[in-house]
Structure 1
């Protein structure tokens, strides 16, 4: 089987490779652990079979960080591959990891250095758990690889303070694993935020206090406290951004809920003040009504139904936002804030529709022409504004996805500070 794999590598025959893997799904795994004369990846790269190389790396990126039997070493293999195509740095395996991720996990420091040198933006590619390559280094206790990466990325505070899917920065992970040397390095050589909070609202020091105690705890606690006191007391931009968003959402949602509640109690046209079921002669009237019911429900049932629907949407949407904000759930990540903002857009739009329904109902027939013009212009303006906001956020989301998966370089993404400033103006 291995001989057929080597022949396929020499020919660059991808179809044969796929057939072999169908027959034996563990074939490439055995290639990694066995001592063969030359790996299929080495053979195909030397012969320039780029398609075969890409297929191998997409199936098993670990091949790029293993030795061959000629002692040529994994670094030389990597260099040959990168000479063929630097974009191989961005190929992902089934676990969502690139060759840089795999090399970092395995502690291949020279390979990490070479990959970063050839494709610096590969450091910004995230795993499926939103982890950076720095998270992987710390998580697998690869301090030397971490040093190489930190030196390569320079003063990239955003990457150093990036949060994974649980909101943990690399400092959170280092403290949870009690890696004293890693913690010392991060505090001395990077701008890692000591006071950053994860989705559970825990800082690195909180994680230390909550973990089982041992002899290293005192030294780690002193390091964190000293670093926190030496640095300016400035809240992390991400946390500060979320705090301002939460406050703005709460104020606007409370206002909409109040207006919608009041509109529900006092609909346009008011309510009947008396009962009218029979006339003066005791005969049933044609259009009876009961005190306390909406006049609008008797005079214009269609508009009344529309008013009730949109007013209820505005009321319940705003209450949903308030409930989420005061629920105590760890909703501290941006994606949750975006969801709440979309709900708020729905509430505001429903409130706008409710306003125009009320305005039309209360206006006399002689001003219907003017009212129609005002309504048309206002609705058109509102739709344009909503479209601009929606398209703008879709573009930003696409840029984030492209940056996450490494399809665009860092310089093509908006500067973090500018992004935060723009966010402050949206609500």
Structure 2
């Protein structure tokens, strides 16, 4: 039976509905609470079916579906004028029902540009125009954001007709960002410096322009009539967009540096506790020469000590030194980034660059020393060849990078350090000269007094 009721709602067959009710007077009571026949009929625009349901079950007008929408929401979204009017006759308070997104049927009609439905709703319940959506936006803001300027004009006209004393208050309603509709309209043409009235002049005909200007009142001005002031609505210029892009690039660079620093810290820490070649698993002795010309001697080693420290003590010294340097440099880099060091000042950029270079160069030295100490007789030629190929290339890269950074570094030192020293020296000589002149003047005054006394 419920399936037949559903089919009757889809087709809008009022006669079938009447027959089903005669067969089972309680059939509407057993309908699904979330998707009532009134929802289906309202969405499809079956006005006669809606009227019959409204008489039998007027409480269905307030029922909400899974999206939190009442039947009037659905009729308003589809633009079914007669159906919306019939639902308003059943219960006009449904104009204030919010859906899951906090929007009323008036909001839906305005956003969709359903002008005729919007007019019916505004005529019946103009107070609903003051209701804010859950996003904090008044209905005029929703119209502007969805390019529904005809709906915007209609709402302003209806507010003027129904509550003229509240027109200024209505137009000055603000969203969560503290913007009125005038600010929002001006922002649509912000880079040209237009006001809201300029936007209306571009988007409306002559008659509409006169009407809207009259509705907005004397407070509405053209940009050419505003002297010595900037429109409050023009909050972002093209320069703001450029700075945003540069800030985004700096943020990406900062994030990349953070990843590199964490990676280097992880690698160096792991190499410190687990050095190349491993560690001795038990205590023992090893025969080795401290220097090539020395006699072999037995050296005691203990479990947990590095094998490389005994087999290649010189290489291990280089390894442990640069491993510590790389680890500390990476920690310093992480600390600088976490502390809010940015690229806005050259000294910050220079500090981050130098620290990164030290960490990366330490990694290179660690790799070279490790590769050299762990090579075997079979890989000696490979090591020599790779060293002769990679070393010049890496050295050339370092020189190029140094040359690219050196001029700006020298300029910075010249501008801030050297000139500061020169200024300090000049200030010192000037102070010394003033002191000497003052002393000489005092001596002359003293001699003059002595002559007078004599």
**TM-score band w.r.t. shorter chain:** 0.3 to 0.5
Larger relative contact order (C-alpha < 8 A, sep ≥ 6)?
1
Asked which structure has the greater CA Rg, the reply is 2
**TM value normalised by structure 2:** 0.36
